Amino acid sequence: MENQLLGPQEIRELAAVLGIRPTKTLGQNFVIDPNTIRRIIAAARIDPDETVLEVGPGLGSLTLGILDAAHDMVAVEIDPPLAEQLPLTVAKFRPGAEERIDVVLNDAMKVMELPKIPTALVANLPYNVAVPVLIHLLGQFPSIEHALVMVQDEVADRLAAQPGSKIYGVPSVKANWFCEVSKAGVIGTNVFWPAPKIKSGLVAFKRRPELLSDVSRQLVFDIIDAAFAQRRKTLRAALGPWAGSSARAGEVLDAAGIDSSLRGEKLDIFGFIKIAEAYRDHFMEQA
């Protein structure tokens, strides 16, 4: 028989025991539908010997599914009552599995080390901070080879967007520095408690086997931020504040072989890397 996953009744009972009400500030929408958990786990393609990082385990809906699929896991939760309860919930619904999970009380946007080395990230991310959490974790933990996250559907589309589309922007290019990104499904609103107003989307990430360049990631990300801060302007104009002037931005773009009359939204990650490399090679002060 299949292991039990948490449904509406279990979630409500757990919330009552803890005396908690989900808060918007922490993006607390708990999954109450076992089928949704099965879908996420299937899409996550977890190998049994993996160590999975979950962000925001909440009341444990996804955690139980991950523990059934993976050998080991670590969960980072910012809300103290939820972090304290999680091992008890695991012990109740998966006796013995509490040995295989470490719960870390911390802000996933700031966490710098973990008690285990994660190879995968699987999470129903807190919606208000989903992109910064994702970018921080991919940068901080290069051992994460793949990820499957649930975010607001429009954020999912933005993460997986291609150059030239209206929704292509900072999240799409930065995620592409680390990974190949693809949309992995849409999830309706009634599988959550409380039900959010908008649909959610699943996004899959596959880490690139090698870094795309040895140029500094911070430099590339600064250029991306500048290009999209004024996305309707040409690269020459938009990169002016970053380079010191539009004229200098034009020189950097010429050196990179990039048409300075393009807008940033036309450029893929490789284009941004060319700009950063040209800047490093021809314009940065030598120490």
Residue of 107, 165, 117 lying closest to 145 (CA atoms):
117
Under rule CB under 6 A, residue 30 binds ligand SAM = yes
Q: Based on CB atoms, which residue is closest to ligand SAM, 26 or 167?
A: 26
Among 10, 33, 58, 264, binds ligand SAM (CB under 6 A): 58
Among 52, 129, 144, 161, binds ligand SAM (CB under 6 A): 129
Among 41, 108, 120, 238, binds ligand SAM (CB under 6 A): 108
- Whole-angstrom distance, CA of residue 25 vs CA of residue 85: 20
Answer whether 274's CB lies under 8 Å from 257's CB: yes
Q: Which stretch binds ligand SAM (CB under 6 A): 51-59, 85-93, 94-102, 158-166?
A: 51-59
- Whole-angstrom distance, CA of residue 233 vs CA of residue 241: 12
Under rule CB under 6 A, residue 27 binds ligand SAM = yes
Q: Which stretch binds ligand SAM (CB under 6 A): 22-30, 176-184, 255-263, 266-274?
A: 22-30
Strand pairing category for 192-193 and 200-207: unpaired
Answer whether 213's CB lies under 8 Å from 273's CB: yes
Among 33, 72, 79, 153, binds ligand SAM (CB under 6 A): 79
Query: Which single residue brings its beta carbon nearest to ligand SAM?
Result: 56
b/e burial code for range 236-250 (CB count within 10 A of at least 16 → b): bbbbbebbeebebbb
Q: Based on CB atoms, which residue is closest to ligand SAM, 193 or 272?
A: 193
Under rule CB under 6 A, residue 89 binds ligand SAM = no
Q: Based on CB atoms, which residue is closest to ligand SAM, 34 or 271?
A: 34
Among 20, 26, 42, 212, binds ligand SAM (CB under 6 A): 26
Answer whether 191's CB lies under 8 Å from 205's CB: no
- Whole-angstrom distance, CA of residue 134 vs CA of residue 283: 31
Within 8 A by CB and 6+ apart from 1, the residues are none
- Rounded to 5 degrees, φ, ψ at 267 are -100, 135
- Whole-angstrom distance, CA of residue 170 vs CA of residue 269: 10
Q: Based on CB atoms, which residue is closest to ligand SAM, 97 or 262?
A: 97
Give the number of residues in contact with ligand SAM, rule: CB under 6 A.
23
Among 109, 117, 229, 237, binds ligand SAM (CB under 6 A): 109
Instruction: State the nearest-atom distance from the C-beta of 156 to ligand SAM, in Å.
Output: 14
The full DSSP string for 100-159 is GEEEEES-TTT----SS--SEEEEE--GGGHHHHHHHHHHH-TT--EEEEEEEHHHHHHH
Instruction: State the nearest-atom distance from the C-beta of 28 to ligand SAM, in Å.
Output: 5
Instruction: State the nearest-atom distance from the C-beta of 263 to ligand SAM, in Å.
Output: 32
Q: Which residues bind ligand SAM (CB under 6 A)?
A: 26-31, 55-58, 61-62, 76-79, 82, 107-109, 124, 126, 129
